[in-house]
């Protein structure tokens, strides 16, 4: 029997053109607000702790935050890819070390329409607390350092007999890229894959992923 394919993708910088973190920091945060991120880079805070500490510094009216999130550009070929997968019964998982708050503002409609599985932290915003993420502790894919284990999602799908196509760009994407059958990598992840001799495919947009899915 032919092996079934599943698509697992990162969100920030992969489905979206730029990270929510980077864009919000550039527009609304001060260098001192980013100190937790420096501590993460030095290995002194976890990814989850650092992101939560930085997001807690956002203190703008919620309507302004929502309007700002809507300015984050998306890969225009992702919607077409998701629609193709829905039609072909290829499961799609968006796995993010960020949170559902901004992913749902940007992609909530498509996620519902195409039956995409969103595996991420839950985010709650108020101008009094900032954006507060809660990790899915009850989830099969809970990971204390990042909130969710993308490698856990990939391994779970593989244990069910799927060949996994993984797309990503950042540090939390290295572990899933090591085990996925096919890897589409950008930026930091692409450099890491080259360093570790992980075979990757050219990845300029989801159009490349869609072309590949139509071949297999």
- The CA distance from 119 to 127, in Å, is 25
Near Mg ion in 170-189, by CB under 5 A: 170
12 binds Mg ion (CB under 5 A): yes
Q: Considering beta carbons, is residue 11 or 162 the nearer one to Mg ion?
A: 11
- The CA distance from 118 to 202, in Å, is 25
147 binds Mg ion (CB under 5 A): no
91 binds Mg ion (CB under 5 A): no
For the bound state, the minimum distance from the C-beta of residue 187 to Mg ion, rounded and expressed in Å, comes to: 8
Q: Considering beta carbons, is residue 10 or 100 the nearer one to Mg ion?
A: 10
Q: Considering beta carbons, is residue 91 or 170 the nearer one to Mg ion?
A: 170
Burial of 161 (0-12, 13-18, 19+ CB in 10 A): exposed
208's enclosing H/E stretch is helix 206-215
Range list of H helices, 15-149: 20-28, 35-41, 47-55, 62-69, 78-88, 100-113
- Find out whether 95 and 111 touch, Cβ atoms under 8 Å: no
Q: Is 197 left (phi over 0), alpha (psi -120 to 50) or beta?
A: left
For the bound state, the minimum distance from the C-beta of residue 204 to Mg ion, rounded and expressed in Å, comes to: 16
Contact region with Mg ion (CB under 5 A), list: 2-10, 141-149, 180-188, 193-201: 2-10
Pick from 72, 169, 209, 212 the residue near Mg ion by CB under 5 A. 169
75 binds Mg ion (CB under 5 A): no
For the bound state, the minimum distance from the C-beta of residue 96 to Mg ion, rounded and expressed in Å, comes to: 8
Do the strands 142-143 and 163-168 form a parallel or antiparallel pair, or are they unpaired?
unpaired
For the bound state, the minimum distance from the C-beta of residue 47 to Mg ion, rounded and expressed in Å, comes to: 11
Pick from 7, 9, 10, 121 the residue near Mg ion by CB under 5 A. 10
- Determine the size of the site formed for Mg ion (CB under 5 A): 5
- The CA distance from 119 to 187, in Å, is 22
Residues that bind Mg ion (CB under 5 A): 10, 12-13, 169-170
């Amino acid at each position: 029997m032919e092996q079934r394919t599943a698509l697992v993708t990162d969100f920030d910088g992969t489905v979206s053109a730029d990270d929510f973190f980077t864009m919000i920091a550039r527009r609304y945060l001060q260098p001192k607000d980013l100190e937790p991120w420096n501590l993460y880079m030095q290995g002194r805070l976890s990814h989850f702790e650092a992101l939560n500490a930085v997001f807690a510094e956002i203190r703008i009216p919620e309507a302004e935050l929502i309007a700002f999130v809507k300015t984050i550009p998306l890969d225009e070929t992702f919607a077409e890819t998701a629609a193709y997968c829905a039609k072909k019964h290829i499961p799609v998982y968006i796995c993010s070390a960020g949170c559902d708050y901004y992913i749902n503002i940007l992609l909530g409609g498509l996620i519902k329409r195409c039956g995409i599985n969103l595996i991420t932290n839950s985010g709650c915003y108020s101008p009094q607390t900032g954006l507060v993420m809660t990790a899915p502790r009850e989830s099969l894919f809970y990971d204390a350092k990042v909130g969710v284990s993308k490698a856990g999602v990939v391994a779970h799908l593989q244990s069910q007999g799927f060949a996994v196509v993984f797309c990503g760009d950042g540090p939390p994407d290295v572990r899933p890229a090591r085990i996925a059958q096919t890897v589409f990598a950008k930026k930091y992840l692409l450099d890491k894959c080259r360093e570790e001799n992980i075979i990757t495919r050219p990845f300029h947009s989801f159009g490349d992923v869609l072309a590949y899915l139509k071949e297999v």
